[in-house]
Chains A and B, each alone.
Chain A
């Protein structure tokens, strides 16, 4: 193997670890890895060097307490192994399927899927998932499922699952509202983040609104959300809020 290639390979490995490679090159590297021990070793070399840098230079931040409990739940639920190689998912075209084991098909939504919707953070892995009391599946006109909203039985927590990695237009945020069956004004349930799964505590006002709500709506608001306490932008999606048998 020429010195030139060796150097080139080392650079590729370094760029791979930095994350600066184009997706196509990254995928090519990943295809080469199983058969190129020196390339794999070069990547391990750079990972080790930069990992030490990160561990010494980046400030450690305690994650929220519920993360550990959620992880234990997911482990206990027997989460399917993800893609087999580091970074293999990146740019592989399979990213949208990464959470397929978390998000069964729509037809499963009304059945066993309900059991997996809300996972109560708890230290013990053997605790069963909790059936949400209220559900709303927000879909686009095309039929694409965008968000799944679950309200836990006690009504204190709401989980939002972004099923399609929906991101608001630049300079805008999507804001979720509870619409009462009567003429009461909408109550904000907060902004819809881009993250796949988020969970938030509900205030007493939000809980009361949800108890009377028949519909959830999403409006397009300026970044940071409505400043008036009511929707100011167009309502882009609505969905019925369904009460389940667990309530």
Chain B
């Protein structure tokens, strides 16, 4: 489904058209569930995040402003924020109850990141990501896809927290500069 359709479905949801809600669910639920699973690793938590996301979309569709970005980006962001809320609420790291091989890239290693880099070369974001130092790229991927905090990234990458903070900060600086050129 192209982004224009998603925009229209969100607009129809704002008018409380249940058919539009159903169509939106059909169009994006699997993608959102995959994103939640990547972060939460546990199916029941991902289900909760998915439900909360769609309830927010339904309740807040009227707040979405199409002039400020594509609706699909807004929906994905809602899904990630809800997933991160749930993740942070857990007092311990979630058990890995799913086959991590289904989740790409749940634990991005160098080869996965190489694959990520070659996925859609024409996109500027990929070009900009490719320009990052490997550790910067991996930090960004662990934060975004796995929802790891910076201390967790430091643990995962066996690096000092200050170093990780520096990687993330410089990666964001570089990406923004690259994307604006």
Contact = CB atoms under 8 A, between A and B. Distances in A.
Nearest to B123: A52
B12 interface: no
B102 interface: yes
B140 interface: yes
B58 A14 contact: no
B168 A15 contact: yes
Contact of A56 (B21, B119, B147, B153): B119
A67 B84 CA distance: 20
B178 to A, nearest CB: 11
A40 to B, nearest CB: 8
Contacts of B22: 68, 72
Contacts of B31: 54-55, 58, 60
Contact of A57 (B18, B145, B150): B145
Query: What interface size band does chain B fall in?
Result: 35 or more
Contacts of B72: 51, 55
A97 interface: no
B51 A57 contact: no
Contacts of B132: none
Interface in A161-182: 165, 167, 170
Interface in B124-145: 125, 140, 143-145
Interface string A73-86: 01100011110101
A45 B177 CA distance: 13
Given A11-B169, A55-B31, A19 B80 contact: yes
B25, B80, B150, B179 pick with most chain A CB within 10 angstroms: B80
B104 interface: yes
B103 A58 contact: yes
Interface of A: 7, 10-11, 14-15, 17-20, 23, 40-41, 44-45, 47-64, 67-68, 70-72, 74-75, 79-82, 84, 86-87, 89-91, 95, 125, 165, 167, 170, 193-198, 223
